[in-house]
């Protein structure tokens, strides 16, 4: 083709793109909504790549207020950072905001998990799976979690003897959480704190899913900004490395079929088995309201439980094999990186705040003195009767929420939010990170102050301003699982080890620019407590 022909096509394509995105990027201006200037054709995703989500979230909230508009590619997203609007979207008007952004994943399993499923399909899956996350069911995983925690602590002791106790706490925390999720979800024992990924495929694929290297960040960036057909052309149909996802999907399917074909097998109290056994009676499903689907962090009052009185009144509704596979995969993806990030961030903040660390250690020693680690009493004390431990964990999640934005989608025509007319399928994003750092909600937001979350200060907290697990009927169903794992882990580590910064410890941390708010390099000094 002659050179001038090529230039004609390039100019024509550029002209088309200019006017196409000029029209797209006028959506918020036409509605009188302020916001950052978008970059053609990427919208404001490029701001995250260039400046990082930690900086840009607070900068936008400070400059544009509690309501502003941005663009993800050419798609308009309304960001809200006001607690009353958060309540309206997540709870009060939840039937109008049941779903997240229009799915972009083209994979048979992705559409079936609790995160991506929609409308009645989501409500049915949520109602069936919710009873698997009650206190009683999770208590049955205590021994498995403790087994991983003891192995984690043994690694610390070995490292202290052999390497003077200086290592990357994020790396070993990731190993620990993969150990936990592998054992509690897939009945698979791993040893991520001392492993060779070349000989263990589970470890190789698991440790790489959330590796936000430049290649993976670019893949995510392209996935959320470029048209679906173009992503498919590049083999980027889910935004992540498809080979790693298929490994866990195939493994989950194999475990399910093995257990299905061997009904006399000895059942394990893991998430695969809980999903296989999960059911709800049809008439209960028809009666289920949204409020009952909200996962509780404290008690079981709001959890869906199957009632024996209905056993003879309707048939049981269960999950299909594909739906079980989808949930198991979601639990793995959502259950290891975010928890590892929270554990490593907690130890980092305690290292920088030794007075808080000392207080937590002394409190735990007082609360747990003479109680056997594997006993029910220990489990109850750590998970439900240690307010300062819970306060430390919650303050960490306030300062370092793994997910900085929550998404919902307008499900009705002619809806107004904060007086702004919105078309159906417009995406609403809740700026959780910006809310967590708003001094109107949290005075001195930069200060690590667990006392904010002590019971005597509960009246000072503004509802719907603490959002690490979301809120309302579509909040994180695994919240109690995560709390249990984090508390049990910290109770063991803080009592036995002292954490302090090293000359290599970054202050502040260099968090990922896009994706999960994590830092892969957190060097700390660990010493044995006398």
Annotated binding site for heme: 476
**How many angstroms separate the CA atoms of 325 and 334, rounded?**
14
Strand duo 75-80 + 420-422: pairing:
unpaired
3-state helix/strand/coil string of 229-273: HHHHHCCCCCCCCHHHHHHHHHHHHHHHHHHHCCCCCCCCCCHHH
And the tokens for 427?
Answer: 């995406």
Backbone angles phi, psi at 436, to 5 degrees: -65, -20
**How many angstroms separate the CA atoms of 369 and 4, rounded?**
82
Which are the contacts of 129, defined by CB distance < 8 A and separation ≥ 6? 114, 275, 278, 319, 327, 477
Lateral strand order in the sheet of 67-72: 67-72, 75-80, 427-431, 405-409
**How many angstroms separate the CA atoms of 318 and 280, rounded?**
7
Which are the contacts of 7, defined by CB distance < 8 A and separation ≥ 6? none
8 Å CB contact between 175 and 346: no
Q: Which residue has the tokens 């690694």?
A: 155
Cα 205 to chain centroid distance, Å, stands at 19
**How many angstroms separate the CA atoms of 77 and 247, rounded?**
33
The binding site consists of 476
**How many angstroms separate the CA atoms of 183 and 148, rounded?**
9
């Amino acid at each position: 083709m002659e050179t001038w022909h090529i230039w004609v096509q390039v100019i024509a394509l550029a002209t088309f793109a200019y006017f196409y995105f000029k029209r797209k990027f006028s959506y918020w201006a036409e509605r009188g909504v302020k916001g950052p200037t978008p970059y053609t054709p990427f919208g404001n995703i490029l701001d995250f790549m260039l400046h990082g989500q930690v900086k840009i979230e607070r900068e936008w909230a400070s400059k544009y207020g509690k309501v502003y508009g941005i663009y993800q590619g050419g798609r308009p997203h309304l960001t809200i950072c006001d607690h009353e609007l958060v309540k309206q979207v997540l709870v009060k008007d939840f039937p109008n905001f049941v779903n997240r952004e229009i799915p972009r994943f083209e994979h048979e399993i992705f559409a079936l998990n609790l995160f991506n499923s929609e409308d009645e399909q989501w409500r049915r899956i949520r109602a069936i799976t919710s009873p698997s996350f009650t206190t009683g069911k999770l208590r049955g995983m205590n021994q498995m979690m403790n087994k991983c925690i003891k192995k984690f602590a043994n690694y610390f002791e070995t490292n202290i003897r052999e390497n003077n106790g200086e290592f990357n706490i994020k790396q070993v925390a990731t190993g620990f959480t993969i150990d936990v999720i592998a054992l509690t979800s897939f009945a698979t024992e791993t040893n991520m704190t001392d492993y060779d990924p070349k000989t263990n495929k589970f470890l190789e694929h698991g440790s790489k899913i959330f590796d936000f290297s430049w290649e993976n960040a670019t893949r995510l960036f392209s996935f959320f900004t470029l048209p679906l057909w173009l992503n498919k052309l590049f083999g980027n149909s889910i935004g992540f490395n498809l080979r790693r996802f298929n490994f866990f999907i195939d493994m989950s399917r194999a475990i399910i079929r093995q257990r299905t074909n061997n009904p006399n097998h000895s059942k394990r109290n893991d998430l695969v088995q809980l999903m296989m056994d999960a059911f709800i009676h049809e008439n209960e499903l028809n009666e289920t309201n949204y409020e009952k689907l909200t996962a509780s962090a404290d008690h079981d009052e709001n959890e869906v439980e199957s009632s024996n009185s209905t056993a003879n009144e309707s048939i049981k509704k269960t999950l299909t094999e594909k739906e079980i596979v989808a949930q198991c995969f979601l639990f793995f993806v959502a259950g290891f990186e975010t928890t590892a990030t929270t554990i490593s961030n907690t130890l980092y903040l305690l290292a920088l705040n030794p007075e808080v660390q000392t207080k937590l250690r002394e409190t735990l020693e007082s609360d747990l003195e003479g109680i056997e680690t594997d006993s029910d009493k220990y489990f109850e004390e750590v998970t439900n009767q240690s307010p300062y431990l819970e306060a430390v964990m919650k303050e960490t999640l306030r300062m370092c929420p793994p997910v900085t934005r929550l998404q919902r989608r307008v499900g009705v025509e002619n809806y107004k939010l904060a007086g702004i007319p919105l078309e159906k399928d417009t995406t609403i994003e809740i700026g959780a990170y910006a809310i967590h750092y708003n001094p109107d909600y949290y005075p001195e937001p930069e200060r690590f102050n667990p006392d904010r979350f002590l019971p005597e200060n509960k009246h000072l907290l503004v509802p719907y301003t603490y959002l690490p697990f979301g809120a309302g009927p579509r909040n994180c169903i695994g919240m109690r699982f995560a709390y249990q794992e984090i508390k049990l882990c910290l109770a063991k580590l803080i009592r036995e080890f002292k954490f302090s910064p090293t000359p290599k410890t970054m202050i502040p941390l260099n968090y990922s620019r896009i994706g999960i708010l994590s830092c892969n390099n957190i060097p700390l000094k660990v010493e044995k407590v006398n």
